[in-house]
Amino acid sequence: MDLRQLTALIAVADNGTFSAAADALHTVQSNVSSHVARLEKELGAQLVDRQGGELTAEGEAVVERARRIAGELEALITDVAALRAEVVGSVRLGMIGTTARWLVPRLLERLAEQHPKVRLVVVDSGSATLEPQLISGRLDLAVVTLPVPDPDLTSRRLFDEDLMLVVAYDHPLAERDELTMADLDHLPLLLPARGTAFRDEIERAATKAGVTLTPKAELDGVRLIASLTFDGHGPAILPATAVPDRLAAGWKRIAVAGMPRRQVGVASRRRGQPSAPARALLAVIDEIIAADVPTHNGLHPLEEARGANPSP
């Protein structure tokens, strides 16, 4: 077994066919087929269904491990470069959309200043989508909603964020500056999908208050929910940062007594050492959080968050 065989299998998994994998690797199809066939022979299992081009169950298992091996090799190279006082390489960062809106521009600026040879790749998605990508090795780090339930991942809390009811100014509730959970009883809402950390937080608060939430629709992705709210499809419970400044004039953000704060943290794989670019990125994220979170309405620094809403 060698790295070329594992690289070929990863390329087939990522590109769907042997010919597309060959194009991605800048080689010919026969080389890719040969590497995969030798790997199959050594493992004694078929890894790719030649008719459909899809990985078998055995192939999926091998690719998951192969991605981690590739990630460790990339980290080895970047760590050696960092020991020469130069952080070089790429880092793949997943991030929930509302946080990405304000954090990513600052990350790009700081990285360009402090680590100009680090290339940042950002994937914008929901926590439920980012966490499997982090486990499989497609991502190096992810800024997600806490808690992170998978035992293969570890996380560190960054800040807390207020959850508010967002309505148009012509909505009957827009006259109020603060609501109780009882005001949400049977109010048709655009809600996060069931099984997400965000939905679980809201449901726990509603259950505690004896309130029944009424979904007008259930959607996976806070930015999608926010977009539909801004298009007039109904009110929603959203993080404070979900309303961009350019839209704030047309929408009312109303505090809801008894609504928990959303906890946002950074997650990584429990096994393995983050690469030098990943470690550099983490340091820059911490700098930005320390400097900018206290200035954002609705965001709470970790010291304040610990006092008001301790982490479980």
Q: What percent of the chain has pLDDT over 90?
A: 43
> What CA–CA distances, in Å, run from 86 to 78, 79, 92, 269?
9, 9, 19, 24
CATH architecture, range 87-160+263-308: 3-Layer(aba) Sandwich (3.40)
If you average pLDDT over residues 157-168, what whole number do you get? 93
Is 205 in contact with 258 (CB distance < 8 Å)? yes
CA atoms within 13 A on the CB side of 39: 23
The pLDDT of residue 275: 84
- Which among 25, 30, 29, 28 has a CA at the least distance from the CA of 3? 25
**Is the Cα dihedral 60, 124, 304, 307 positive or negative?**
negative
> What does the mean pLDDT of the chain come to?
86
- H helices, E strands: number in the chain: 10, 12
pLDDT confidence tier of residue 104, bands split at 50, 70 and 90 = very high
- What's the topology of domain 3-75? Arc Repressor Mutant, subunit A (1.10.10)
* Domain at 163-260, CATH class: alpha beta
In the sheet where 118-124 sits, what is the strand order?
118-124, 89-95, 141-145, 262-269, 153-161, 299-301
Asked whether the domain spanning 87-160+263-308 has the same topology as the one spanning 3-75, the reply is no
Tokens of 269: 């794989």
In this prediction, residue 176 has a pLDDT band, given cuts at 50, 70 and 90, of very high
Q: Specify the pairing of strand 153-161 against strand 262-269.
A: antiparallel
**Which of 82-86, 130-134, 261-265, 275-279 comes out lowest in average pLDDT?**
82-86
Please give the average per-residue pLDDT across 237-253, as a whole number: 79
Q: Please report the pLDDT score of residue 107 as a whole number.
A: 94
Q: Greatest CA span in the chain, whole angstroms?
A: 70
Domain assignments of the chain as residue spans, ordered by start: 3-75, 87-160+263-308, 163-260
The pTM is what?
A: 0.68
> Does 308 have pLDDT greater than 60?
no
| The predicted structure's pLDDT at residue 247 | 62
Whether 298 shows a pLDDT value over 90: the answer reads no
**Band of pLDDT at residue 252, cut at 50, 70 and 90:** confident
Query: Is 219 in contact with 225 (CB distance < 8 Å)?
Result: yes
Is residue 87 within 8 A of residue 277, CB to CB? The reply is yes
| Cβ 157 vs Cβ 151: under 8 Å | no
Higher model confidence: residue 266 or residue 18?
A: 266
Q: Is the pLDDT of residue 121 over 90?
A: yes
Dihedral over Cα of 296, 221, 165, 167: its sign: positive
Q: Report whether pLDDT(93) > 90.
A: yes
- What pLDDT, in 10s, does the model give residues 7-58? 888 888 888 888 888 888 888 888 888 888 888 888 888 888 887 778 888 8
Task: Grade residue 312 by pLDDT with cuts at 50, 70 and 90.
Answer: very low
Q: What pLDDT score was predicted for residue 309?
A: 42
When pLDDT is averaged across residues 61-70 and rounded to a whole number, the result is 83
**pLDDT for residue 307:** 45
What pLDDT score does 187 carry? 93
Which residue type, as a one-letter code, is found at position 312?
Answer: P
Report pLDDT for 184: 94
Where are the extended beta strands (E) located within the chain? 89-95, 118-124, 141-145, 153-161, 163-168, 178-180, 188-192, 214-219, 236-239, 251-257, 262-269, 299-301
Q: What is the mean pLDDT of residues 102-115?
A: 93
